[in-house]
Amino acid sequence: MMEIVQGTRGRSACPEKRKARRCWKRHGLRSTRSELMDTLQSTTIHKTYQERGYCSRAGYARIREVLRSCCWLYNRSLEQRKNTYLADGKGMSLYRQMKGLTQLRKEQQFWRDIGITVSRGVLVRVDRAFKAFFRRVKAGEKPGYPRFKPLKRYQCLELASVTAGMVKGNRIKVKGLPVIRIRPNRRMPDSSRLKALRIGMHGRILTVDLVYEEEQNILGSVDTAVGIDMGVNERMTFSDGETVSRRVIDRSRETSLQRAISTKKKGSNRRRKAVATFARERRRNTVRNRNECHRLTTAIVRKYQKIAVEKLAIKNMSRRGGSRKRGLNRSMMEQTWGLLFQQLRYKAEWAGRQFSAVDPRNTSKTCSHCAEVRKEKPAVYRIFECLRCGHTEDRDTNAAKNSKERGVGLPIPYNAGGNSPHSRRESTEKDMLVQLSI
Ligand SMILES: [Zn+2]
């Protein structure tokens, strides 16, 4: 079907794998750092293969049944944590909840029939939600307390651990779940390298995410560098003057489908079908865009050795302005800068290319020729004109050149937010390295 997304992680030479922080305490700062340097040189990466899954009619029903129970377990575990905290002011550990699960499995046949990795995976998810919450509290962000999930939003089974035997050829077998067949149109890695497995049910579509560990595929180096400015008029502008035109979506079909839903009675079969058709249309548009982004970013990473992109806070940009700015907000969101950014970042890392996210402050106000910052608003919005040296250029190209200037000099690529197969939030060795180098 299509390839996605997850990032990468270095393999640590330290016996305490992946626990750079503890490492730091034990060995002191210097040795940790050298170990981390080794780490970066011999990296393996995690790659997720997302495939469409197929099973029997009874199989789909069974998956839905398991999802329903797991959703219940998720909410129950959440409640448990909340209540214990309210009762005696202490949180509940994952370990203690696992014990509770053992008890549950003793009492009920249903939970015994499901593989332990499936039900443990639920608890791991709860644990991760709390960890993310506390991390945000600590960082002084605005945290949202983990929420109860309605069945509608509980769409994914995540296994706590995997074994090589779960994938045999094109068949996936997990205890308590039906056999799921996949039809990959490319060679899959050897199942001994399987690191994580997720099974998702989105409407009527079954998806399987297989996370494998792979060797980094380093591209031969080239002597090219580029700065990229992401915008609304042009989707991307490169520092060498090239552009990718903005994404325009034909919403007519979506609108008419939405209208069709609104004319049907709530709770009726016809309405349910209309909703499903609409969802399919939306999904198609999403996939289409994602594929297009893949083509773009792959081409960029192949062409350039060093890539510098502005680090944009898209949320902050789109939040302000209210209805007055709704049109602009929408066309901003449609350009999916975040997706492009994310794909560029991990693909650059896979290919051993340098990616840097640069501080966007004043990139569009600074002269790329003499570095003068222009305070006043320009007479013509689209064109940058320097008051000191008279340099005149397209506004976006000028900004892209500034990004290049700022980004390409950096010794260490931007890697914050590296991933483990389960979580995007865990800090990694590479995060550490970036922190240490500051
Ligand atoms: Zn100038």
* Distance from Cα 340 to the centre of ligand 1, integer Å: 30
Q: In whole angstroms, what is the distance from residue 130 CA to residue 136 CA? A: 10
From the CA of 366, how far away is ligand 1's center (Å)? Answer: 8
Say how many Å lie between the CA of residue 24 and the centre of ligand 1: 46
374 CA → ligand 1 middle, Å: 9
Separation between Cα atoms, residue 292 and residue 286, nearest integer Å: 10
Q: Which residues contact 305 (CB under 8 A, 6 or more apart)?
A: 221, 222, 223, 224, 225, 353, 354
Which has the higher per-residue pLDDT, 246 or 108?
Answer: 108
- Exposure class string for 289-324: b at 16+ Cβ within 10 A, else e: bbebbbebbeebbeebbbbbbbebebeeeeeeeeee
pLDDT tens for each residue of 197-250: 999 998 888 999 999 998 888 888 888 999 999 888 888 999 988 899 888 888
Phi, psi of 213 (to 5 degrees): -95, 130
What letter represents residue 316's amino acid?
N
What would the mean pLDDT of 188-204 be, rounded to a whole number?
91
Ligand 1 mean position, distance from CA 387 (Å): 7
pLDDT at 63: 96
Cβ(332)–Cβ(232) below 8 Å: yes
Distance 373 CA to ligand 1 centre (A): 8
In this structure, the number of other CB atoms found within 10 A of the CB of residue 234 comes to 19
Q: Say how many Å lie between the CA of residue 358 and the centre of ligand 1.
A: 21
CA of 226 relative to ligand 1 center, distance in Å = 20
Percentage of the chain beyond pLDDT 70 is 81
123-127, 153-157, 366-370, range with the lowest pLDDT: 366-370
CA-to-CA dists, residue 163 to 49, 113, 170, 196, angstroms: 17, 18, 15, 9
Please check the confidence at residue 67 and state whether its pLDDT lies above 60: yes
pLDDT surpassing 50 at residue 15: no
pLDDT at 384: 87
Ligand 1: centre distance to CA 383 (Å):
13
Ranking 109-118, 178-187, 374-383 by mean pLDDT, the lowest is 374-383
Q: pLDDT of 362-396, one tens digit each?
A: 888 888 888 888 877 777 778 888 888 888 889 89
Asked whether residue 414 carries a pLDDT value surpassing 80, the answer given is no
Q: Tell me the two tokens of residue 431.
A: 């995060």
Question: Would you state the pLDDT for residue 421?
Answer: 37
Alpha carbon of 392 to ligand 1 centroid (Å): 8
Distance 305 CA to ligand 1 centre (A): 27
pLDDT at residue 26 tops 70: no
Taking the centre of ligand 1 as the mean of its atom positions, its distance from the CA of residue 362, in whole angstroms, is 14
CA of 361 to the centre of ligand 1 (A): 17
What is the pLDDT at residue 114? 95
Range list of β-strands (E), 28-103 = 44-54
The values of phi and psi at residue 366, to 5°, are: -95, 145
Q: Residue 277 corresponds to which tokens in the numbers above?
A: 């058709």
Percent of the chain at pLDDT above 90?
45
| Range 1-14 average pLDDT | 40
Indicate the average pLDDT of the chain: 81
Residue 224 CA, ligand 1 centroid: distance in Å = 24
**How far is ligand 1, taken at its centre, from the CA of residue 388, in Å?**
5
313 CA to centre of ligand 1 in angstroms: 27
- Assign 21 a pLDDT band (cuts: 50, 70, 90): very low
pLDDT digits (tens, 9 = 90+) for 296-333: 999 999 999 999 998 877 666 766 555 666 777 788 88
C-alpha 385 – ligand 1 centre gap (Å): 8
Query: Does residue 82 have a pLDDT over 50?
Result: yes
Element (H, E) at 385: strand 383-385
CA distances from 216 to 9, 146, 341, 352 (A): 10, 36, 20, 8
What is the distance in A from the centroid of ligand 1 to the CA of 403? 16
CA–centroid distance, residue 371 to ligand 1 (Å) = 6
Q: Which residues pair with 206 in a beta bridge?
A: 53, 201
Ligand 1: centre distance to CA 25 (Å): 49
Q: How far is the CA of 234 from the centre of ligand 1 (A)?
A: 24
Q: How many CA atoms lie within 13 A of 316 on its CB side?
A: 3
Reported as a single tens digit per residue, the pLDDT across 27-59 is 333 334 444 444 455 578 888 999 999 999 999
Average of pLDDT values for 277-289?
89
